[in-house]
Amino acid sequence: MAGSRKTWRRDEIVAAAAHCFMQQGYHATRIDDVAAHLGCTKGRIYHYWPTKTDLFFDVHRAGMARLFAAVDPLPDGPNGAAQLAGLLHAHARAMLDHHTYETVVAQGVQVHRFDRLSDVQQQVMSDLIASRDRFETLFLQALMRGMADGSLACENPSITVKVLLGGLQWSIIWYRPQQGETEQDRADLAAQMVHPLLHGVKKHD
Amino acid sequence: MAGSRKTWRRDEIVAAAAHCFMQQGYHATRIDDVAAHLGCTKGRIYHYWPTKTDLFFDVHRAGMARLFAAVDPLPDGPNGAAQLAGLLHAHARAMLDHHTYETVVAQGVQVHRFDRLSDVQQQVMSDLIASRDRFETLFLQALMRGMADGSLACENPSITVKVLLGGLQWSIIWYRPQQGETEQDRADLAAQMVHPLLHGVKKHD
DNA sequence: GTCTATATACTGATAGAC
DNA sequence: GTCTATCAGTATATAGAC
């Protein structure tokens, strides 16, 4: 059950790990750093995860879950352009709202490309890669739909999707949550980020 | 002098370090990895650089130099739109051509935010940050010029520039140089990357 | 379930031979 | 200028007390 004590403990640790991985990156973060951030020692962390790698994968998974949670409830909309607009706005908001987790997602599975992973870890890594692809496909489908219904236009849909998502996801580099930032501030920023991207694929006669 | 034996040795090491940092990231790369990639031992590397951090900074510097080299020779062009188009195309090409170095630039100075740095290292870091800002300003100026001369339009120039550059720079995540890739292939890819971004800020009546 | 203490392994950097 | 050998510091992970 989602609200169990054990789940709560795990989530608390995942959040602390996300913070540390965001600030310092995976390799520079020591398990002791995560523990210190929680005000405990690493004994607690090793009680819930066997290795640092497994903890990272769970933070990554939590980040992906937040990305999907932002776009899954969206309606399809009247045409491809409207659908893509909804997706991009929701994704921009998610990148800002969950900046900590998404910075970890951006470090991605790349960090473990050269690690020796167990079979189980390898499977987890494959699942994470698959979920990233699935996420990108949501945007690709909206773009293709828009090209079919005449509301959108572009030369190379699969490259274009990567560029559009990149424009939003690069915010992990320059954006930092601000003290006293309101919901409205973030909504405005998200809109300003999406505008040039959406305008770039809209069909103009 | 640029072609001296010592300079050549340094460049060779910087290239090997760039390759390793690109593949594994800064922290996961051991000095022994860089040496192995050169077919020597770390004695050679420590003869030219006092620390791994200083080596990283030189790779970063080399990456920034390539970015500027791609856009510095460009003419201003007849208007802001033409100027920005030239900048974006050149930058897209540079991101693909120098993928290895630019992947290191993207890791940026962030990697050393929590390191204890010497005064000299701190200064080098400041210079690198300043050069990144200067680079972004080139694009911002073209955009503002275009808004003034009526060839470009956008809501928030400084956010828009970050989004446009992000769209191109995110290619370090998904692009991998392909075996047998021609100049034309890369030029085409660059054009496909730039198209939606440029279209997004062009003024349509 | 969490802590302390520690084993074990790794890696940045140095010293000194050649 | 490059190599070999090694030190010293650090970090993951474990064992066992509480």
pLDDT tens series, chain B, 205 aa = 568 888 999 999 999 999 999 999 999 999 999 999 999 999 999 999 999 999 999 999 999 999 999 999 999 999 999 999 999 999 999 999 999 999 999 999 899 999 999 999 999 999 999 999 999 999 999 999 999 999 999 999 999 999 999 999 999 999 999 999 999 999 999 999 999 999 989 987 5
- B154, B80 Cβ separation under 8 angstroms: no
> How far apart are alpha carbons B42 and A70 in whole angstroms?
48
Kindly state whether A157 is in contact with chain B, defined as any CB-CB distance less than 8 angstroms.
no
- A160, A154 Cβ separation under 8 angstroms: yes
Q: Check whether residue B43 has its CB closer than 7 Å to nucleic acid strand D.
A: yes
Write down the pLDDT at residue B69: 99
Write down the pLDDT at residue A205: 58
Helix axes A119-149, A80-97, angle to 10 degrees: 140
Kindly state whether A41 is in contact with chain B, defined as any CB-CB distance less than 8 angstroms.
no
Model confidence over A115-174: pLDDT tens digits? 999 999 999 999 999 999 999 999 999 999 999 999 999 999 999 999 999 999 999 999
> How far apart are alpha carbons B152 and B88 in whole angstroms?
14
> How far apart are alpha carbons A106 and A103 in whole angstroms?
5
Q: Check whether residue A42 has its CB closer than 7 Å to nucleic acid strand C.
A: yes
Write down the pLDDT at residue B1: 59
Q: Do B169 and A171 touch (CB under 8 A)?
A: no
- A23, A67 Cβ separation under 8 angstroms: no
Chain B residue numbers touching A24 (CB-CB < 8 A): 113-114
- B194, B201 Cβ separation under 8 angstroms: no
Q: Which residue has 């720079």 as its token pair?
A: B169
- Of B residues 1-40, those with CB within 7 angstroms of nucleic strand D are 6, 9, 35, 40
Which nucleotide's C1' atom has the smallest distance to the CA of B53?
Answer: C12
- The amino acid occupying position B18 is A
Residue A5 has pLDDT above 90, yes or no: no
Q: Check whether residue B115 has its CB closer than 7 Å to nucleic acid strand C.
A: no
Write down the pLDDT at residue A24: 97
CA distance A147 to chain B (A): 14
Q: What chain A residue is nearest to B27 in terms of C-alpha separation? A: A27
> pTM here?
0.97
- Give chain A's end-to-end CA distance (angstroms, integer): 54
SS3 helix, strand, coil % of chain A, rounded to 5?
A: 75, 0, 25
Work out the percent of chain A whose per-residue pLDDT is above 70. 99
- Of B residues 11-70, those with CB within 7 angstroms of nucleic strand C are 29-32, 42-43, 46, 50-53
Tokens of B130: 């300043």
In terms of Cα–Cα distance, which of A89, A92, A64 is closest to A74?
A: A89
